[in-house]
Amino acid sequence: MKLALAQLNPIIGDLDGNGEKIFEVCKNIQNKNVDLVITPELSLIGYPPKDLLFNPRLFKKEKDVLNKLSKRLSDLSQNLSILIGIAEPTSDIQIPKLYNSVALLEKGTWRIVARKQLLPTYDVFDEKRYFRSAEESSILNLYYEEKICRIGITICEDIWVDQCLQGEKILGKDPIKSLENKKLDLLINLSASPFIQSKNLLRQQIAAKAAIRLSCPVIYVNQVGGNDELIFDGSSFTLDNKGKLQQELPAFKESVILCETTSLNEPKSIPSPYPTSQEVLFRALVLGVKDYAKKCNFNSAIIGLSGGIDSALVATIAVAALGTSKVHAILMPSPWSSLGSVKDATTLANRLGIDHQKIPISDLMNSFNDVLSTTTLGTPTGTTAENLQSRIRGTILMALANQKNHLLLSTGNKSELAVGYCTLYGDMNGGLSVIGDLYKTCVFELCDWIDSESSSSCRNDFFLPEKGEIISSEIRNKPPSAELRPEQLDSDSLPDYSILDPILKGFIEDHLPTEDLIEKGFDKKIVNKVANLLKSAEFKRYQAPPLLKISNQAFGSGWKKPIASR
């Protein structure tokens, strides 16, 4: 039996467009003698559809698209079948009113052949809000050359059942266990598994355990593309019955590969497509920006370029995602901006080949001072004066973004967002926070990689200079500073980032109490200070733009801390 693995990039809610994308895959392989096409989880509606699933008209549309697609596929080939992920309405009025299901389209008709059993409700996932769990695992019997091919079908979380590898498991049945004595010829998993650094290896290890338990090959097909804060890397693969990797689709690209069931157990040597973690991270962020802009109907982006490392990195990612002609940089020096920073920002813009403009804000600062000096506030000083500079810049950027329909890219990092070292309605303005899930130390590491020879192959795939530094040693080696007052440095207010970031990671991603971090050797005074800053900045994060998630715990839909608490 010949199979096609279709790693697709859907637009959430675009049933017609996603259906057409699936049909085009089938049309392109109609002369390849393919028997079964496999698409990702919820491939017809896109993942995650969230509260779009509360719209009852959606399911009439879904049914219409499935009927039309079945007919078109039948006209294309009577021998081609396809697995499509759909949201299936239940037949009763109890809630939740849906199943997360898989439909088989063949010979002009379609039918449900699998339903998801384990529903993730943690971090960014909230599937129990919409779906109910299936009671049993699914086996699809396909006839091929007068034989029956027994195929187990699971959906994403249904194979995440190895507590030793995962450290935990969703409460409920083990979908793999109920398939152990069924003598399967193949296990298929349709997934929409978001990107997290190093997660692809864990996916393969989880699937390998299933292959060994069932003594059959495993095919894993994952969604690709950016949907809001989530980035889906694809990285679909096939394993033999011993859990060895046979084929792997490229990460971060929409693609299709063919394979035959008879060759799934043949030994093969599979090279790693992206050997460095920095390259994987860079490609993920590029895809996140590219798809966010495209799917939200933005053709261009605007960035406040300060001469610092954060805005330099965001500008580089934006150029890689959108192209040089689609990225616009605004330099907004104040009286406290160093000549070096203005020069570094200008040089970077020229090196990237992007349009840039300088708009000094000194006169605007004076105007605000004049107006406010007549109030009970008096002339702004201290933090108030510093924040006014940031808000002036944010207002300028938003005005230009509105006027030109640019996507304003926020340039703050995770360390700043964690401790509130950012200004509401100022540098937090924007439609997308590109590096809001990267600690400051990670920003430096990624920029070091960009400026190294190791990034050369990646540069060729995008719109970046092929040789020489991009970020520059001047920017990379500059002490971090907001430059909101004379000779200001981040270290005036915060611990060194090499100390701050491990403490933040302990609080945010490892959920450690202050006592545990102190026992690990961190200074008690610093730990308590960071804990207080993290708590007091919660109200700011509630008003921050969506950010691209690349870690186990990001400040987004998976971070649900109360603002008012002790």
> Does residue 338 sit in the same domain as residue 384?
yes
The CA-CA-CA angle for residues 454, 457, 459, to 5°, reads 95
Per the domain annotation, does 548 fall within a domain? Answer: no
Instruction: Count how many residues are written for the chain.
Output: 566
On whether both 183 and 328 belong to a single domain, the answer is no
Residue 463 has pLDDT above 90, yes or no: no
- For 180-223, the pLDDT digits (tens) are 999 999 999 999 999 998 788 899 999 999 999 999 999 999 99
How do residues 303-322 score in pLDDT, each as one tens digit? 999 999 999 999 999 999 99
Say whether 529 is catalytic: no
> Can you give the CATH number for the domain in which 17 is found?
3.60.110.10
Which residues constitute the domain of residue 145?
2-271
Domain shared by 251 and 308, yes or no = no
- Is 273 or 534 the better-scoring residue by pLDDT? 534
- Is 326 catalytic? The answer is no
Question: Which entry of 26, 156, 442, 447 is annotated as an active-site residue?
Answer: 156
In this prediction, residue 271 carries a pLDDT of 58
Q: What is the pLDDT of residues 59-95, one digit of tens each?
A: 999 999 999 999 999 999 888 999 999 999 999 989 9
| Sign of the CA dihedral running 92, 97, 101, 103 | positive
Q: What whole-number distance in Å separates Cα of residue 515 and Cα of residue 507?
A: 11
Catalytic residue among 41, 88, 106, 248: 41
Which strands make up the sheet holding 301-304, listed edge to edge? 355-358, 327-331, 301-304, 407-410, 432-433
- Residue 155 placed within a domain: yes
What is the distance between the alpha carbons of residues 282 and 260, in angstroms, rounded to a whole number?
33
Tell me, what's the pLDDT at 199? Answer: 86
Q: What is the CATH number of the domain that holds 393?
A: 3.40.50.620
Asked if residue 495 belongs to a domain, the reply is no
Q: Answer yes or no: is 504 within a domain.
A: no
Put the strands of the sheet holding 218-222 in their side by side order. Answer: 138-144, 147-155, 186-191, 218-222, 237-239, 245-248
Q: Do 123 and 261 fall within a single domain?
A: yes
Domain match, 328 and 183 both: no
The answer to whether residue 517 is domain-embedded is no
Query: What residues contact 536, with CB distance under 8 A and at least 6 apart?
Result: 420
DSSP states of 226-286 as a string?
EETTEEEEB--EEE-TTS-EEEEPPBTS-EEEEEEGGGTTS------S---HHHHHHHHHH
Is 109 inside a domain boundary? yes
Instruction: With respect to residue 241, please indicate whether it lies within any of the assigned structural domains.
Output: yes
259 is an active site residue: no
Residues 13 and 115 in one domain: yes
pLDDT at site 200? 86
Is there a single domain that holds both residue 250 and residue 289? no
Residue-level pLDDT at 274: 52
What is the number of domains present in the chain? 2
- Among the three residues 271, 291, 321, which one is the final residue of a domain in this structure? 271
Q: Are residues 175 and 311 in the same domain?
A: no
Same domain for 398 and 297 = yes
Closest by CA position to 193, among listed 166, 173, 172, 164:
166
In the Cβ-directed half-sphere of 376, how many Cα atoms lie within 13 Å? 0
Among 429, 432, 555, 440, residue whose Cα is nearest residue 491 = 440
| Domain boundary, last residue among 431, 464, 485 | 485
Asked if residue 270 has pLDDT above 80, the reply is no
387 located within any domain? yes
Q: Determine the average pLDDT of the residues in 344-368.
A: 96
Same domain? 80 vs 112: yes
Same domain, 321 and 455: yes
For residue 324, which phi and psi values (nearest 5 degrees)?
-60, -35
Q: Which residue out of 21, 88, 106, 116 is catalytically annotated? A: 116
The radius of gyration of the chain from alpha carbons, rounded to an integer in Å, stands at 26
Which residues are paired to 357 by β-bridges? Answer: 330
Please tell me the number of Cα atoms within 13 Å of 393 on its side-chain side: 34
pLDDT tens profile 480-502: 888 778 888 888 889 999 999 99
DSSP 167-230: S---SS--TTGGGTTS--SEEEEEE--B--TTHHHHHHHHHHHHHHHHTS-EEEEE-EEEETTE
The mean pLDDT value for 36-63 works out to: 96
Q: Residues of the chain with pLDDT > 70: what percent?
A: 98
User: pTM of whole model > 0.85?
Assistant: yes
Last residue of a domain, one of 430, 458, 485: 485
Q: Are residues 231 and 290 in the same domain?
A: no
Across the range 517-522, mean pLDDT stands at 96
